[in-house]
């Protein structure tokens, strides 16, 4: 019975965001007890906690971009836009061109980049986030990086990364649409 509820939840989410959740439906079918843990963790994966939305999404978008799964990144961009992040800021995050970006967009992009690419400025960025948002905010920032990587890694590990077109394909599609 639970697997049907989980599959329904995954389908509903996929339909809302035009995102292929078949890999999660498979989890519900073959391993419903693991699906229950995932369903419980979903709010954590999409919760900005003590961070302003622009900082949270800057971290998550950059982390997802480095994870190199176009559909996952597109989902995160849709969520960010629906949360009020401007298209200009989303373009800045995708291109890395921070001219005109707010402090939080720059901070989020730099923080996620430093975490995932062992940047020398990481210690300074950690301190900046912790001073402004406390330990909870630092945890929220770190979790945004983790969840930005989670889905691309999960899909690669399951062998379903073939549905993950690289981010470069998404960028080409977006430039044609603008």
Same domain, 58 and 136: yes
Same domain, 100 and 135: yes
pTM (2 decimals)?
0.88
Same domain, 152 and 105: yes
The boundaries of the domain holding residue 150 are 47-177
Same domain, 118 and 166: yes
Same domain, 27 and 112: no
Same domain, 78 and 3: no
Q: Tens-of-pLDDT digits for all 178 residues of the chain?
A: 788 999 999 999 999 999 999 999 999 999 999 988 888 888 888 889 999 999 999 999 999 999 888 888 989 999 999 999 999 999 999 989 999 999 999 999 999 999 999 989 999 999 999 999 999 999 999 999 999 999 888 888 888 866 566 666 666 666 545 5
Same domain, 166 and 79: yes
Contact 44, 127 (CB under 8 A): no
Same domain, 112 and 142: yes
Domain count within the chain? 2
Long-range contacts, 150-158 (Cβ 8 Å, 24+): 150/45, 151/64, 151/67, 151/69, 151/72, 152/64, 152/67, 152/68, 152/69, 152/72, 153/67, 154/23, 155/23, 155/69, 155/72, 158/23
Contact 131, 119 (CB under 8 A): no
The pLDDT, as a whole number, for residue 176 is: 43
Same domain, 51 and 41: no
- How many residues can be counted in the chain? 178
Nearest to 167 by CA among 93, 81, 59: 93
Task: Find the CATH number of the domain harbouring 158.
Answer: 1.20.1290
């Amino acid at each position: 019975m639970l697997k049907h509820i989980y599959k329904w939840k995954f389908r509903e989410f996929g339909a809302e965001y035009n995102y292929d959740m078949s890999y999660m439906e498979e989890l519900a079918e073959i391993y419903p007890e693991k699906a229950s843990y995932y369903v419980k963790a979903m709010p954590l994966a999409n919760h900005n906690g003590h961070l302003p939305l622009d900082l949270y999404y800057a971290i998550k978008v950059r982390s997802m971009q480095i994870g190199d799964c176009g559909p996952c990144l597109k989902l995160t961009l849709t969520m960010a836009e629906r949360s009020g992040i401007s298209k200009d800021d989303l373009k800045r995050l995708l291109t890395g061109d921070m001219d005109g970006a707010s402090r939080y967009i720059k901070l989020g992009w730099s923080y996620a980049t430093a975490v995932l690419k062992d940047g020398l400025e990481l210690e300074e960025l950690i301190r900046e986030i912790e001073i402004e948002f406390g330990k909870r905010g630092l945890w929220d920032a770190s979790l945004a990086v983790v969840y930005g990587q989670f889905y691309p890694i999960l899909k690669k590990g399951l062998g379903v990364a073939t549905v993950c077109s690289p981010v470069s394909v998404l960028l080409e599609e977006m430039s044609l649409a603008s």
